[in-house]
Every structure is written in structure tokens, then in C-alpha cells.
Structure 1
Amino acid sequence: MKIHQNNVLGELGSAIGKGLLAGLAGTAAITLSQIIEMKITKREPSDATVKVVSETVDVKPVSEEQKEKVSQEIHWAYGTAWGVTRGLISLTGLKGLPATLVHFAAIWGTALVVLPKYKAAPPINEEEPKAIAIDAFHHAIYATAAGLAFDALDAGSRNERKIRGIVKHLKLKGLLNKLKF
């Protein structure tokens, strides 16, 4: 069986799959972060996800008791799906911290636009600085965890193996020793 060197659809599928797993890890991290923060600050769980989804796709909890369950289901699906973005970012060649920063900007930027649009949160200019900091912190936790998970899953990718091969070849030739690389 011959392996194609430039299998674009395979790379896309791999990036999406790794992204979904990374999104799941990021969602677990932000969930834990929010649970800890809510215990410290005595804040109640947000119903922002239910508000937005109720407005956009007409999904509503059947009862008030089901509201938190539906909110959590949406939270996990949404967070996991955002991992796909991290996978797509990797296809641009960005890795590590730069990719994580772009991912963070996309996620938090979307939240800052979408939540006020559907009256699920006030606009950022009407928020208290403490609330903004907490929200940014949670989104940074998500992006960092998703980025670390993605990079761990992506270790050993074709491009990384190519680079390692070139570095090994240059070391064998003694070129890197001369450059102190």
C-alpha cells in the first residue's frame, strides 16, 4: 500500500479529529475552572448557552429543572466543536503558543459578540472589570488546554517527522554543530 505524501483530505480529517479531542479536553478544563471559580465567588451557573440556543435553533428545556442539564449538554457540544477550529488553525502551519493565541482570540471574540447579540450577557463595555477578567481567564484555560492536547495529539505528524529528519541529517553532516544549533 502506497502512502500519499500530500493527502489533503487525510490531513484535514486528521486535523478535525485531533481538534475534536482537543476541544473535549479544553471543555473539561474550562468546566473545572468554572466549577472552582463558582465555589470561590459563590456565582450561580450561567444560563447564557440556553438563551443563545433558544434564540438560534429553537431548543428549549422542557422544564426549569432541565435547564441546567440542557445548558451543560450545549456547553460540552459547543466547546468540543470549537476544537475543530484549533485543528484548522494547525493547517495554516501555526503551532504551540501562536496557534493557542489565535484560537483564544477566535473563541473569546465570538463570545463577546454573540452573547450580547442574544441578550445572554451584557456588552463588554457594560461589564465589571472583575467579570471580564474571570471570563477571559476561563477562555484562556480552555484555549491552553485545547492547545496542549492538540499539540500532544499532533506530535509525530508527517511535517514534524520531516523536520526531525532534516535536523538529524544536518547533525550527521556536522553542520548544526558549527552553527551551535
Structure 2
Amino acid sequence: MINNPLKELGTAIGVGLIAGLAGTAAITISQMIEMKITKRKGSDSPTKAVSKVLNVKPVNKEKKPKVIQEIHWTYGISWGVPRGLLSLAGLSGIPATAAHFAAVWGTELVMLPSLDVAPPVTEEAPEAIATDALHHAVYAITAGLVYDAIMNQE
């Protein structure tokens, strides 16, 4: 069989998007369970970040929860693409999942404070850091398992 780099890139991106969708579903469920247990309210940091970067806002307060969900799902699904690209770099399994986790969570830890929509991690309570890390681990592990399961089918 002839090596086709465009086909490999397209497959990695497409399967990555599917993995990102699965990861986003998993982190959503993880956050919903945690919020029900802890009584924590959802964050509006995603809307604030998008508002700053793209200069857009929800048209009214009633639309804000929908916009937050749209941002959450779009952002999470799109993070599946780097998971696919990691596979093109030769990473799979646990190393790819660890790198993906570091990229996803690391980006949040840098991006949100740099946009002044969340405090730096050094100002967060240890429990909040652990909870956030757990949710992002759920995302990365799910995305990695789904990606590898699809790519390892014969």
C-alpha cells in the first residue's frame, strides 16, 4: 500500500474530532456530577475569554447558558485535533494521552489568567486545582481511549 500523507492527516484530524467529541461528553458528565455533589455553579470564564478574544457577547442574559455550552463543546471537540496530530508524530496510548492532557490543561492554566478571566493557578485552592485537573484528565483519557480504539480497528 502506498503511503498517502494527506489521507493520514485527514484521518488523524477526523478521528481526533470524534475523540474530542467523546472527551467533551465525558468532561461534561464529570463536571455535572461534581457540581451536583459540591453545589458549585458553572463557570462563565469561557464566555468571558471568547468575548475578549473575538469581541463578541451573548445577545442577552437568557442566551448566555446556551453560548457557554456552544463554546464548551466547540472548544472541547476542537482539542481532539491535536490528539490526532500526536499520533502522526508517533505517539499513542499513555504517552499521547499524557501529552494531550498537558496541552489541554496547560493551555487553560495559562490562557484564562492571561485574559484576566480566571485567577492564576497559584491563587486557587488546592481542592479547586485537583478538581479541575481531574476533569481534564477525564477528557484526555476518554479522548485517548476513543482515538486509539478507532485507529486500532482492523
Per the shorter chain, which TM-score range? over 0.9
Equivalent pairs, count: 154
In the alignment, which residue of structure 1 is the partner of 2:67? Answer: 70
Q: Which has the higher contact order (CA 8 A, sep 6+)?
A: 2
Q: How does 1:19-98 map to 2 (within 5 A)?
A: 19-98=16-95
TM-score where L is the length of structure 1 = 0.83
Query: Alpha-carbon deviation of 1:117?
Result: 1.0
Query: Alpha-carbon deviation of 1:156?
Result: 3.5
Q: Indicate the SS of the match to 1:66.
A: helix
TM-score where L is the length of structure 2 = 0.98
Q: 2:97 aligns with which of 92, 95, 100?
A: 100
Aligned-residue Cα RMSD (Å) equals 0.9
Query: Alpha-carbon deviation of 1:93?
Result: 1.0
CA distance in 2, matches of 1:96, 1:128: 31
Structure 1 spans left out of the alignment, 5+ residues: 158-181
In the alignment, which residue of structure 2 is the partner of 1:164? Answer: none
CA distance in 2, matches of 1:75, 1:93: 28
> Given residue 44 of structure 1, which amino acid in structure 2 is its aligned partner?
K
CA distance in 2, matches of 1:7, 1:102: 26
Q: How does 1:151-170 map to 2 (within 5 A)?
A: 151-156=148-153
Structure 2 spans left out of the alignment, 5+ residues: none
| Segments of 4+ moved more than 2 angstroms | none
Query: Alpha-carbon deviation of 1:120?
Result: 1.7
> Given residue 122 of structure 1, which amino acid in structure 2 is its aligned partner?
P
What percentage of residue pairs aligned between the two structures are identical? 63
CA distance in 1, matches of 2:81, 2:56: 23
